[in-house]
Every structure is written in structure tokens, then in C-alpha cells.
Amino acid sequence: MNRILVIHRGSLGDFLLLLPTLHALKDRLAGVRVEILGRLEIAGLACPGVADSIASVERAEFVPIFEQDVGLSEARTSYFSSFDAVLAYVLDPNRTLERNLLRLGIGNVIVRPPFPPAATRIHVSEYLLDTIAPLFRDADKRQPMEKRPPRFLAFNEDEMRWAESFLRLKSPRSLFAKEGIERPARSMKRPSRDSVSANLFAGATRKESEKIVRTNSHLQNPTPTRQLRDSPTEGMLPEGGPVIAIHPGSGNEKKCWPVERYEALARRVLGDINCSLLLVLGPADERLTERTTNLGRELNATIAQSLSLRRLAAVLSKCAAYVGNDSGISHMAAAAGTPTLAIFGPTDSTVWAPKGENAWIVRSDIECSPCEREKMRQCVERKCLTAIDVNEVTEAVKRLLRTP
């Protein structure tokens, strides 16, 4: 098998959970070339890395193949028939796409929803990995998957230099110089992927520990907030100390830890840890712009806004830690290899937690969490999120920074 087309039209977070599957294709099928037909900026996160090329799923000649039975035009036939297999992760209830692909004479066609049935409670990445089993011979299926890479995203040298210049990273000083806390003499062992993180959070109360699961002082400064735009010469972070990124937003406000708690977290982190702050705003976070700008001005933090996805990912890869909600940017931080703490409330972390070498989640033990989408939409109190206090998250960040 020489060429595989992967079709994915989903959101940022959904696509990033496909990366382990793309890695598996590259690991198991030596020399295979993978092209992604998807949303260009999102799909571009996989190239370079696990994709050899990308194409826009919104191109006019591709749209009809998803919506109606189409004729075998020369352009469609030439494009799709050049692949030995097509993996399409789309909702196709009437099998329209599947029929069209089969009519094009492609030998291996796999069309699946981009996420598992709600009742299964299997992690999305595991579900997606299972979908590619038919492409492997029986002997290959029995081989264990390659060790998960420390990061699922790859960057070229120019991107990494840009990110380093962007952040002006220097050799980190003691992370806890302001607090007088020393690193543990012995490295803490990381727990298994699905276990309660008793080792990472040693010293936390039982109730606190059960909320943190592995898935894999006020500054008076009148300096105006620096807005980081898509240029390495603007809005540089101050030198010294590690950079901790905080993203208070999400595409769905119902999934967001209260913004006032993020503000308190930012103040606590600066008061307790010798660090610089990077406040992240995504394209869906317009409602948070004013508050985040005011917070950045108060704390002399930097706001990362309007960066391309690849540049934001490269910048996050250079951060010592990241804190955010269940959001696409949290998935991106984890995939970039950044120690990531994702705060979960109404959504199911068993299914949607970020995947990465050092990705962790914080959740409450409220009985009604996780909940169904309609209940989440109607919920006003959001107890599953308000039950998580600033102290818990601050201590989790400190322990995350201690973890090698």
C-alpha cells in the first residue's frame, strides 16, 4: 500500500485526536504516503510530521461527493483513484460518500463517524485507532503499537526559531524561587494512563487526588498589555523564568471554568512561581477579549491572539506548562508536547481528554457529570466546574512543573 487519503472535516480538537491514528499508519505501513483532505489550517498541523500533503475539502469539485450520488467525472476519478485506500471520518448516515468512493474503484474504503457512539465511553483516539485494523495483515495486527511519541506535532527549524524568538526563552531559573520550594530529590513516577494520579499528586488529600486524573502577589504595573500578533518582533515576553500558558476560553462557554477563577489562578501563579505568563485567546474567545486584556495589563502578561494554528502550536511547545478547558487549544498544547492541565466539567474526560506524553485533567466528582449535550445546554449552575477551586488548580500546576 503506497498512498492513503484521510478525509476529516471536523473541528480542531476532533482532528488532533486523529493524530495517533496517523502515526500508526506511518509506523505500520513502511513508506506509505498520507494525504489529508480537510480544513486546510487544521490539517496543516499534521504536515510536516504524519502527513505528506494536504488538500482543501472545501474545493468545489469535492463538495458534491459528500452530498449526492455523483457521476465519475474525469477530475474526481483521477484524484481519488490515485489512492490505494481512503479513510473518511465523517457522518454519512445514508452511505452517500461510501457509495461514491466505491464507485470510483478504490480498493479499500473505510467510512466511519469521527467519534464513537456515546454509550461506548471509549476514548476517541482509541476508537479511531481501531478503525484502521482492516488495513493491516493479521500478523501486523498482533504487533504492539510503537511507543507513543512525546509530541504528536512536528515543527520545522524555522518555526521553532520563530517560537523561541517569540518567547525569548532563556535558561529557566528555579521554578519556585519565590516560595522557597525545592524540587524533590527523587523523580516521581508517572501513573498508568487511566489511573488516579496518586504519585504525581502525592501530598494532596484523597478528595483532591480523585479529581486529578492522568489521561495520558498582585503586580501593580501600568505597562500596557502587549498583544502578540503574527510577527516574531512584536509583544515579546519578559526574560527569565519559564512560561506558563493559560487559555480561559473554549468554543462552548458551557465547558469553561469561570473566568474569574482563571484571573485568580493567573495572580496566584505569578505570586507563587518565578515565571512569565502567556494568556491565550482563540478565534472563539471574543467575549473574553476585554477581560483578558485588562488582566494582561494588570499582570504585565502577554496575550497571544490572532496567531496561525501552527505558530500558536510552536509557541505552546516552548511553554513549561499549559492550563485550559476542554478545548481544541488544550488538545493542541498536549499534542505539541507541553505539560498540559485540562479542566473538565460537563464533558466526559474518558472520551475527550487531550492525548500526549504529559497530559492531565482536573475534574470534580459531581454526580451529574458528565452529562448529555442537551442537559449541558440547559444547565445554569455548572456545579461540575464551580466545584473546582483555584487552590486545587494552582497546586496541580506546581506538581505538573515538578514532573520530569
Tell me which H or E stretch contains 391. Answer: helix 390-402
* The pLDDT of residue 327: 95
Beta pairing, strands 340-344 & 321-325: parallel
**pLDDT score at 143:** 52
- Asked if 3-142 and 171-402 have one fold, the answer is yes
Q: Phi, psi at residue 297, to the nearest 5°?
A: -65, -40
Q: Which helix (H) or strand (E) holds 336?
A: none
Contacts 24+ apart (CB under 8 A), 364-367: 364/211, 364/388, 365/207, 365/210, 365/211
What does the pLDDT look like over 30-77, one tens digit per residue? Answer: 889 999 999 999 999 998 888 999 999 988 778 778 877 666 677 778
DSSP 8-state code for residue 196: B
Q: Which residues pair with 87 in a beta bridge?
A: 6, 110
Between these two residues, 98 and 372, which has the higher pLDDT value?
98
What ranges do the domains of the chain cover?
Answer: 3-142, 171-402
The CATH superfamily of 171-402 is Glycogen Phosphorylase B; (3.40.50.2000)
Q: Tell me if 359 sits within 8 A of 334, measured CB to CB.
A: yes
0.85 exceeded by the pTM?
A: no
Task: Tell me the mean pLDDT in the region 388-396.
Answer: 94
The correct CATH number of 3-142 out of 3.40.50.2000, 3.30.450.40, 1.20.120.1200, 3.40.50.1820 is 3.40.50.2000
Q: What is the mean pLDDT of residues 190-205?
A: 32
Q: At 184, is the pLDDT very low, low, confident or very high (cuts 50, 70, 90)?
A: very low
